[in-house]
Amino acid sequence: MKLNSANINVMIKACRKASKILIRDFGEIENLQVSLKGPGDFVSAADKKVEKILIEELQKARPDYSILSEEIGLIDNDKSFKWIIDPIDGTANFLHGIPHFAISIGLEHDKEIICGIIYDPIKDEMFVAEKGNGSYLNNQRMRVSSRSKLKDCMIFTGGPKITSENKELSLKEYNNFSSTVLVPIRKLGSAALDMAYVAAGRCDGFWQRNLNYWDIAAGIILVKESGGFVTDFDGENDYIQNKTILVTNSKINKEMIEVLNK
């Protein structure tokens, strides 16, 4: 089984094309690490190149859809359909030669994400989901994990950034989870892949403050179609507006909310 609706095929094609540039540029990073200038400018150029290819491909297939993309912002066309793009999620990993980053594209219809793709070009792992049709990793059906006790779970988070408001709150939450789970909390550096890993059952739960819509858009549908929960820290639906996202399998949502509200 696999997903093969027209929109999914458009997204896969765009990702495959853009990932060629991404893989090639990632191969250059090692050389740039040792140069005096460093890879900073090169990486922001890679980000823009990938974004350009994604937008060209998506616009070719769906000229009327709106686009919200991290680097260029909003292209305001059709009010009901919108692509939400993060050309490289995990830029700091990319910049440091760490092979853990992804392209992320979500498709919003009437304010709801209906399709999502998160593609890790280095591991060649493509996570895709479509509303009502399930979620897949390289054409294999995905399911969230079934662990039910938070203490036995693998939990991910990210941040806080140096500039983050609420830094103290994030650290308090980190501290509370650290005192609850046996396996130390992971910070892998790509929120999109964090969510894809919850969808795939590799990780049981993920929480983070201050993420942007493009970081999480595709992940939302992946997790939901895998049978997981996406909520804010109170178990409500306002995670995009509140910028507090909690992503879990179907068993530990309540327990994670309790820890977040300690």
Q: Which residues bind Ca ion (CB under 5 A)?
A: 70, 86, 88-89, 215
Query: How far is it, in rounded angstroms, from Cα 87 to Cα 80?
Result: 22
Rg value, the chain, Cα: 18
Nearer to ligand IPD, 3 or 83 (CB): 83
What is the number of alpha carbons within 13 Å of residue 2 lying toward its C-beta?
10
Binder to ligand IPD among 25, 51, 57, 86 (CB under 6 A)? Answer: 86
Cα torsion angle, 108, 104, 163, 40, sign: negative
Does 158 bind ligand IPD (CB under 6 A)? Our answer is yes
What is the number of alpha carbons within 13 Å of residue 227 lying toward its C-beta?
14
Query: How far is it, in rounded angstroms, from Cα 83 to Cα 108?
Result: 6
**What residues from 179 to 208 belong to the interface with ligand IPD (CB under 6 A)?**
189-191
Least gap, CB of 91 to ligand IPD (angstroms): 4
Nearer to ligand IPD, 214 or 229 (CB): 214
Nearer to ligand IPD, 149 or 184 (CB): 184
Stretch that binds ligand IPD, among 18-26, 89-97, 105-113, 176-184 (CB under 6 A): 89-97
Nearer to ligand IPD, 12 or 211 (CB): 211
Binder to ligand IPD among 159, 169, 186, 243 (CB under 6 A)? Answer: 159
Cα torsion angle, 40, 46, 52, 55, sign: negative
By a kind-dependent CB cut-off of 5 to 8 A, residue 90 interacts, out of Ca ion, ligand IPD, none, with ligand IPD
Following DSSP, what letter does each residue of 51-108 receive, concatenated? HHHHHHHHHHH-TTEEEEETTTEEE--EEEEEEEEEEEE-HHHHHTT-S--EEEEEEE
Residues interacting with ligand IPD, by CB under 6 A?
86, 88-91, 158-159, 189-191, 211, 215
